[in-house]
Amino acid sequence: MAGAAAEQRRLATVVESWLGRPVLIVGDAMLDEWRFADSDRLCREAPAPVLTLRRRISAAGGAANTAVNVAALGGRAVLVAPVGADVAGDELHDCLDRAGVWDRTVDQPGRPTPVKRRMLAGNQILLREDSGDPDDALDPEGVSRLLTALACATEELRAAAGGEAPTLVVCDYGLGALPAPVRAWLVEQRERYATVALDAHDLADWRGLAPTVVTPSFAEATRLLARAGATTRPTGGTELHLKHPDIDPADGPSEMTVGAAPGGVRADDAAERTTDRPGPVGEPIRGEGRVALTGDGLSVTGTGVTVNTRAGEGVDRAVLAESRLAELRAHTGADVVAVTLDTEGAVVGGADGAPRRSHSTPVPASHAVGAGDAYLAAMTLALAADAPLPTAAQLAQLAATITVSDTGTCVCRREDLLTALDQPTGTTDRSALVGTDELDAIVAEYREAGRSVVFTNGCFDVLHRGHVRYLEQARALGDLLIVAVNSDGSVRRLKGPDRPVNPVEDRGALLAALACVDHVVVFEEDSPAALIEAVRPDVYVKGGDYPPELVPEAPLVRRLGGQVRTLGYVPDRSTSAIIERIRTHSQDPAPRATDRVPDESLSTRTQAS
C-alpha cells in the first residue's frame, strides 16, 4: 500500500511539473454539437422515431479539443487553426475562451467551420451529421495568414515563457487545415520547438518532421506500414479480414469490421471450404480499400496486415502493434510511437525497444469522443516535462480513461487527474482570472494559511520581456502575486484614444498564463486604490527607476501595514517604444527578399497584434 501511495505521489509530481508548460497546437479545429432528445413514438410517415429536443451542448473538437485538454491539464495552450467566419466559428471561439485557450485562430470567410452534430435519444447516438468539406482548400491568402499566425504564436509563447522553446502539437485529420506549404513550414521550423507531438490520419504526409511522439490509431499505423512497402510473407490457413473506410473518421478511432478476405471466406465458413475455391489473395481488389491480415500475423501486404485465425485467438491488435513498433519508429522518425487501440488501451514503444501496454475500460462510443485528445495532451505535456516514457504512457492512459464517464466530448482537467491519483488539488486550481468578489475570498484563504501577498497593477498593453522579468521579480517577493490590469476605458483615459492596442480580455489572458502570476483582476477606475484597500498587500510593487516615496499609492499601502518596492524594467523594453517601432516599420517600403526580420521584431509584432 505504501508503495502504491509513493507511486501516485511520483505521478502527481509530474503533473505539477508541467504546470504552465507552453504548447502550440495547430491543425483541424472543429465544433462538436450534441443534441439530446426524447422519443416515445414513431412518426406516421416512416418507421422513424419522433424526437423532442431537450438540450443542446457545443464543445471544441479535433485540434481545438486537444488545446482545451492541454489548458485544462495546466499547460499554456495556444491554438492556431483556420476557422470559418460563421455561427459555428463564433461558438468555437466561445468554447476556447471559456477553457482559457489562447485563441490565435485565423478567420477564413467562405470556408465553413467543420461541425459534427450528433442526435441522441436515451443516451444512444441515432445519427451524426457532418459539415465542412476537406475539399474546401485554403486560398493562398489564407495559407499566408496561417503561416504568419504560426510564426507569431511561436514567438508569443516563447516570450511569455521567458525564452523557453515551446512544445508543438500537430493535429492533422484530413480536413484541409494543414496544406503542403504549412506542412513544409513546420518541418523547416522543427528546431524552434523542444517537443513535437504528431496525431495524423496520414502519417506519410509528415516525413521529415522528426516528431518526439506520434499517436496513430491501429488503422493509421497499418496504412503507414502498407504504404512503406513491407515485404509480404507467405500465408497459410484461413485468414481474418479487417475492413476500414478509405478515409478514417476525423473525430475518433477507425471503424473496423470483420469480413471475408478478398477472394476468400469468412472464418465461420472454413468447414465448407472446398479445394477448388480460391484462397485469400492478400491484395484487395480495386475499390475495396481493405486491410488484410495474413499468415503469421506479423506481415504487411500492399494495403494492410493480417492474422491467421488458426494461429490462436491470442494474436490480437496489441500483439501485432507491439511487433511493428520499431518499423513505425523508423518510418515516422519519431522517438516514441503510441498505437492507440480504442477501448483496448494503447501500445507504446520508445528507443529502448521495450513495448509498454496500457489498458482502458470499455465504454459506450458516445462516452469516448475526444478521449484520444486527452491522451495526446497528457502524453505531450509529460514528455515535454522530461518524464520517463513509462510515466508519460501511464498518465496519458489515465487521462483518457477518467474522461469517459459520460456522454459528450472528453476533457480531462488537472484536478481530475490529481484526484484520480489521490492527491490534494489545493487552492492553486482556482482560475487565474478572477473577479473582485472572488479575490476577497482568495486573499482571506491565503492569509489564514500565513502566506504573504504581493500586489501590482498596470495596463500591460503589449506584454514584452521587461514585463515578464518585472513580474517574475515581483513574484519572488512573496507567496502570492496578484496583478490588477486596467480596463479598456481606464487605459484610454490614461494613455489616449489610440490605446489600448489589445483588449482587456487578451491582456488578462496573457498575464494569467504566466507561471509567475497567481491571479489577475480587472479594475475600471484610474487608480487601484480600492483594490489595494480590499487586498491589503504585504508588498506593493511598481515598475520604474524612481524611489518608493514617489509612488502615489505608497501612503495608502503603508497605512495598511504593507511595504512598497519599485523594480526597474529591462532597458529599451517599453510598450510605447514597441508600438512606435511597429508604426515606423509599417511606413517603411516593402522589405527586399534578402531582408531578414530578427526574432525580436517578430516577437514584437506578435505581442502587439
User: Annotated active-site positions, please?
Assistant: 373
Distance CA 383, CA 67 (A): 16
Nearest to 36 by CA among 366, 365, 362: 366
Positive or negative: CA dihedral 520, 380, 369, 359: negative
Residues counted in the chain: 609
- Check: CB of residue 56 under 8 Å from CB of residue 33: yes
DSSP H helices, 536-594, are 554-559, 575-587
Closest CA to 28 of 83, 99, 87: 83
Contacts of 301 (CB under 8 A, 6+ apart): 226, 232, 282, 283, 292, 294
What are the backbone dihedrals phi and psi of residue 312, each rounded to the nearest 5 degrees, phi first? 115, 150
What whole-number distance in Å separates Cα of residue 510 and Cα of residue 569? 18
Residue 95's nearest CA partner among 109, 108, 81 is: 81
* Cell numbers given for 200: 495524423
Q: Which amino acid is at 340?
A: T
CA distances from 304 to 2, 139, 200, 326, 501 (A): 46, 35, 18, 17, 54
Pairing of strands 480-486, 519-523: parallel
Q: What are phi and psi of 452, to 5 degrees?
A: -90, 150
Residue at grid coordinates 498575464:
511
Name every residue whose Cβ is closer than 8 Å to that of residue 192 and which is 6 or more positions away in sequence. 154, 165, 166
Give just the sign of the alpha carbon dihedral 133, 139, 142, 143: positive
Beginning with the edge strand found earlier in the chain, give each strand of the sheet holding 336-340 in spatial order. 102-103, 76-80, 22-27, 167-172, 196-200, 213-214, 336-340, 346-349, 356-358
Query: What is the three-class DSSP state of 519?
Result: strand
- CB neighbours of residue 273 within 10 Å: 12
Three-state SS across 372-402? HHHHHHHHHHHHHCCCCHHHHHHHHHHHHHC
Angle CA 393–396–400, to nearest 5: 140
What does the buried/exposed string (b/e) look like for 15-43 if buried means 16 or more CB atoms within 10 Å of the residue's CB? bebbebbbbbbbbbbbbbbbbbbebeeee
Q: What is the DSSP letter of 569?
A: P
